[in-house]
A and B are shown apart, each in its own frame.
Chain A
Amino acid sequence: MSSSSFTRRCNTMMKVPSSFKKEFLKKWIVGLQVCGSLNKNMSVSERKKAIKLSADIAMASARNGSTCWSRALIANASKQDANKLVVEHVLGDDESRKLTKQLPVGTSMALARKIRVIRSKKNILKRRSGPMRRAARKSNSSLSSSCIAKRLVRKRSQVLKSLVPGGEFMDETSLIEETLDYILSLRAQVDVMLKLANATELVTNQK
């Protein structure tokens, strides 16, 4: 990735558009209505799952496939048959067909293969810097602290990868970009959900 396209990608991807909350709300309501029509008498916990599922799919769909995490979230949700109807209705038929077709097992394996190839190339580059590493090894104390630091960063990156949808497939830079976008989207999601909950409480005089 050249540096100019990198900056472009950063700028387009990391600003959640102002219409995001509106799009999210619209799609979320569509999802809620689909769930409500599928199952008229839900228990509190069933309804909670439906609310959460609709919210997540709406949040991902509102990014319009522009981020990896949103595509991964939808793909993961679509794996369960129970969720497919909600996904289709929220996304609209065309988009959902596109997205669910894009990530069948074959494609994700091809993607994983590509990443393995890139990683092995990186390893070759790492090996070339061998002599420089050997020089650094001479000062033992600095090696152990930087080793520990690297290991810690790697461990924490692994945790982050498990938290961001689709994180297992991302390299470090993409992971950070996707994390930024994911956090912004999550915040917007929480904001809208909070407002709806407060409004519902007010309107139905349940305080």
Chain B
Amino acid sequence: MSSRRSRSQAATSSRITDDQIVELVSKLRQLLPEIRDRRSDKVSASKVLQETCNYIRSLHREVDDLSERLSQLLATIDADSAEASIIRSLIM
């Protein structure tokens, strides 16, 4: 199924073989938390791409949330404690 699709694409990308593309897509699958848990071997390329996009978006969101959290933490540090001055000098 998906190999037939990628074969027509691979034919036009000259020396990259179909196997290499399949290998890359399978590596991508292993990274994605949702697809990895499913036992099925027949995940379509478009599903992998969609899950990849969702995963990257969620990682971006996590970075954003963590930045916000750190910013709040640094803003409300108790100015007098020794640890606070360490953190202050180390980070900001």
The chain B residues found within 8 Å of chain A, CB to CB, are 4-5, 8-9, 11-17, 20-21, 24-25, 27-28, 31, 44-46, 49-50, 52-53, 55-57, 59-60, 62-64, 66-78, 81, 83-84, 86-87, 90-92
Total of A-B residue pairs, C-beta within 8 Å: 149
Please, which residues of chain A bring their CB within 8 A of the CB of B5? 146, 149-150, 153
Given A51-B71, A163-B53, A180-B28, A129-B78 contact (CB < 8 Å): no
A105 contacts partner chain B, Cβ-Cβ < 8 Å: no
Stretch at the interface among A70-78, A88-96, A109-117, A188-196: A188-196
A207 to chain B, nearest CB (A): 10
Question: Contact: B15 with A183, CB < 8 Å?
Answer: no
A83 contacts partner chain B, Cβ-Cβ < 8 Å: no
Question: Contact: A172 with B9, CB < 8 Å?
Answer: yes
User: In the assembly, what is the distance between CA of A183 and CA of B59, in Å?
Assistant: 8
A61 contacts partner chain B, Cβ-Cβ < 8 Å: no
A206 to chain B, nearest CB (A): 6
Chain B residue nearest to A151 (CB atoms) is B46
Given A52-B64, A149-B46, A204-B77, A183-B70 contact (CB < 8 Å): no
Please, which residues of chain A bring their CB within 8 A of the CB of B62? 190
A103 contacts partner chain B, Cβ-Cβ < 8 Å: no
Q: Which of A158-207 contact B (CB under 8 A)?
A: 159-160, 163-164, 171-173, 176-177, 179-180, 182-184, 186-187, 189-190, 193-194, 196-197, 200-201, 203-206
